[in-house]
Structure 1
């Protein structure tokens, strides 16, 4: 199954029979706002005999329209103060699902546009929601021949708009595959190979580090997490390095660390009472970053350089497992006392960020990000929303606010969290033997400031703390916790969302 194909349709006659499309799916805030008279008349007539029309997604017999099918899917609570552009996404998914059930294979999506601020991106948001609706798990696609699938979706957009949407959806499709696949099929080596295959014949530079000696030398914290997995070849860790560099002058530089814990048992501090289920999804950060790189490779935006490092590791249990109380020196030379082996993601990210820090120091307008399904606390705080924790340099430049505005406009809303002095107090090693404590020994979900203080640890353990506002080389850094937003529906086995790929892409471009 390839990503859904969006086709630009410039001729409004595409709504009629004989155009090659086999259904018309209308997403609208009101029957009165439908732009096409033929559709408006049919919808109004339908509402006279079926009260559901305009209140829920409904299928109408529509002679003369494409495929003889008209599906009207309303945006509910459009005028509500608390509704946002995701209302268009919800309506598009319901309408597309109904079209598929009715036998349509090439529906035309018509979005009654609103130019009001919060709905200004309603058309692309609705289109991308169709991609989310249609994605099916990689294991299912590999085991069962897929039939009766949607072949393409027509959109009343320009060729360039369709190209951008297809590129974004290609990246999101890759991210969902990487995040949502079970831990053997998408082990660290398989994840790395899946990326290599996805990036083949593109403009991206790709390198995979797998040699144990190199990993232990250059990524000591990551290698500690992976220590018990080295004995099993199919579970051994990988670091995937990916770079996009535009032709011509580079005006802005971006650096991404992606957490790719392909399975998290908790390690020696083992997850109990069913807490291990769903932990094959602990690689959502690396998956989203990989998807972002895929999108960039297709669109080739000008003026930017983007460098990503994906830390792929299985946090296994065994006699070789690292344990709480160990002191391990990070790549940045910071002595880290392990507070809990189930707080492994921040260890992986710290080494990645240290490497990226060295690359970013002399680059123009550099910004660094870590993207991770990091804490249960962020879910307790914000439910299904992403959280961003900025360093003071990023906050001074309004990076988090920009990400929040873009996320709101594109249907990936996020919350801003403030880094405080109390967060640094939490990472002090009481013994004084280590420079920093990785975590306390309680679950983040019951720890005050459980998703904020890991950002303080990442700044200290990666060496980024030395690049604050008053330093000679200040660096923008934002930590993006997607533990609540990486999956929709069932928290263990729901569909991956690829968040925050869309918002990050808009920020870059």
Structure 2
């Protein structure tokens, strides 16, 4: 496996106080709207006033200028564009990303990025650095084929003196980006490079240095059939191909001081490495991009990686990756089959392309059972689950709380965390009818996999199915389902690694 892009403070990432340092071959400046009155570094302000008279376009697209006042005599101006009350800090991230991209296009290998503190965005400096590093991401399969290192040295300049506060921000950003690389590598890998067995190999390598995270892999066919029967059904057409055979991966992060733990975060991620639709095969070109159906499991791994690096003392974290492939073939599971879940509930299959809820169902049941014996649990499912969520919310994540999580105002707090770090959430309410619609229609059926007559609320009823099949309906345990179908990123875009940043922000993983 090609090594991940390593960012190490004081090795290839530096905090720089001198904008004219000879260590850099250019400077990138995020340009805010004039009406925000964001202070510019010394000497640069008058220079920008001058070129603004030459070209008003500097407030619309990234531009490169010859400037004697900065390192390398090259200045990239990357504008945020107009910022309204409806914008959040994502505009800053995008400007930073575009600025770094433009710097690389100009041939810079040692860029220095100006990271100003802007009162409107309390986490703006963190997000700016993350946007900069995001532009540097090189997909795993490119890294494996060739030396694709696209920088030598990166500098971040906040002001003309070094502060502990800014160093902490830089360290947090490096840790978060390393965790997002894990997420993007898994999510973006093609169906063969990131088949279930290959994901296991990648995870073992990625967490090899982290003694605070344990890995357990369940790959025995009989054990999967016994304890994860719905996942086993989805994987049935693929199970005779060794590299495509299902795996359950359990990751567990433990605090160095168990006495300080106040919260247990438990995550179950959909890891369908390729989704053909199964017997209900996808048609009209809709199969392309379905290697991204593992973004939920990838995000679970990324969150655990962030915890492994940043070592939050107050958290215990359990992550379950449900890895399988929804193939088609003579042994495919088909509609009309009656499956028995690990919770004991019978499930009538109605559409084999609604495989994600089945892939996670038994793992969610096991996690729910464990939640009764841990401190202050909060369970998440993360999945590219329904096209309906994308149709409703576009490129934002649909967040659905059960009654216990809603009682703590969790959805609104998650939404605020997302707005703070540039990941958008829309809170969607799970109602009684979203549970009721999943009740079986035929004699002997406890549940239907999916009510094919449903004309609306498809992403909410999927959450309702998960609540019912796992036994959460009868328990007072906080649970949130995150449908990232629209926000995870589809080709040609790289995976977004959503919602790793927001979960880290909400659960106070950062230093």
TM-score interval, smaller chain: over 0.9
1:379 aligns with 2:383: no
Equivalent of residue 219 in structure 1, options 207, 228, 236: 228
Shift of 1:336: 1.2
1:321 aligns with 2:326: no
What SS does the aligned partner of 2:50 have? helix
- Distance in 2 between residues matched to 1:235 and 1:97, nearest whole Å: 36
Shift of 1:466: 1.6
- Distance in 2 between residues matched to 1:345 and 1:164, nearest whole Å: 33
After superposition, where does 1:109-258 map in structure 2 within 5 Å? 109-116=113-120, 119-146=121-148, 148-149=150-151, 151-156=153-158, 158-202=166-210, 203-248=212-257, 249=259, 250-258=261-269
Equivalent of residue 22 in structure 1, options 22, 25, 32: 25
User: In structure 2, what is the equivalent of residue 471 of structure 1?
Assistant: none
Post-superposition Cα deviations, 1:165-198, rounded to whole Å, max 9, x if no partner, equal: 1110001011011001110111011011111111
What SS does the aligned partner of 2:458 have? coil
User: In structure 2, what is the equivalent of residue 470 of structure 1?
Assistant: none
**8 Å Cα contact 2:278-2:326 kept in structure 1:** yes
User: In structure 1, what is the equivalent of residue 103 of structure 2?
Assistant: 99
**8 Å Cα contact 1:22-1:66 kept in structure 2:** yes
Shift of 1:151: 4.1
**8 Å Cα contact 1:100-1:150 kept in structure 2:** no
1:289 aligns with 2:289: no
What SS does the aligned partner of 1:496 have? coil
User: In structure 1, what is the equivalent of residue 485 of structure 2?
Assistant: 483
Shift of 1:108: 1.6
What SS does the aligned partner of 1:37 have? coil
Over 3 Å counting, the alpha-carbon distance change for 1:265 and 1:314 in structure 2 is same
**8 Å Cα contact 1:340-1:440 kept in structure 2:** no
- Distance in 2 between residues matched to 1:349 and 1:373, nearest whole Å: 12
- Distance in 2 between residues matched to 1:11 and 1:290, nearest whole Å: 32
Shift of 1:351: 0.8
- Distance in 2 between residues matched to 1:492 and 1:10, nearest whole Å: 34
Over 3 Å counting, the alpha-carbon distance change for 1:170 and 1:457 in structure 2 is same
- Consecutive unaligned residues of structure 1, counting only runs of 5 or more, are 468-473
- Distance in 1 between residues matched to 2:303 and 2:443, nearest whole Å: 41
- Distance in 2 between residues matched to 1:326 and 1:150, nearest whole Å: 57
- Distance in 2 between residues matched to 1:11 and 1:294, nearest whole Å: 28
What SS does the aligned partner of 1:384 have? coil
What SS does the aligned partner of 2:30 have? strand
Equivalent of residue 437 in structure 1, options 438, 448, 464: 448
Shift of 1:11: 5.1
Shift of 1:463: 1.3
**8 Å Cα contact 1:43-1:53 kept in structure 2:** no
- Distance in 1 between residues matched to 2:251 and 2:195, nearest whole Å: 19
- Distance in 2 between residues matched to 1:382 and 1:440, nearest whole Å: 22
- Distance in 2 between residues matched to 1:229 and 1:9, nearest whole Å: 48
Shift of 1:52: 2.4
Shift of 1:9: 5.2
Shift of 1:6: 6.8
1:423 aligns with 2:422: no
Post-superposition Cα deviations, 1:425-471, rounded to whole Å, max 9, x if no partner, equal: 321211131111110237xxx8410100011100111111120xxxx
**8 Å Cα contact 1:329-1:336 kept in structure 2:** yes
- Distance in 2 between residues matched to 1:497 and 1:6, nearest whole Å: 22
Post-superposition Cα deviations, 1:303-356, rounded to whole Å, max 9, x if no partner, equal: 110001100000111111111111111111111111211111001111111111
Structure 2-normalised TM-score?
0.93
User: In structure 1, what is the equivalent of residue 64 of structure 2?
Assistant: 59
Structure 1-normalised TM-score?
0.93
What SS does the aligned partner of 1:44 have? helix
Shift of 1:276: 1.0
What SS does the aligned partner of 1:448 have? coil
Count of residue pairs the alignment pairs up: 492
- Distance in 2 between residues matched to 1:501 and 1:63, nearest whole Å: 40
**8 Å Cα contact 2:183-2:299 kept in structure 1:** yes
Shift of 1:112: 3.1
What value does the CA root-mean-square deviation take over the aligned residues?
Answer: 1.8
Post-superposition Cα deviations, 1:188-245, rounded to whole Å, max 9, x if no partner, equal: 1101111111111202011111110111111111111111111111111111100001
1:35 aligns with 2:40: yes
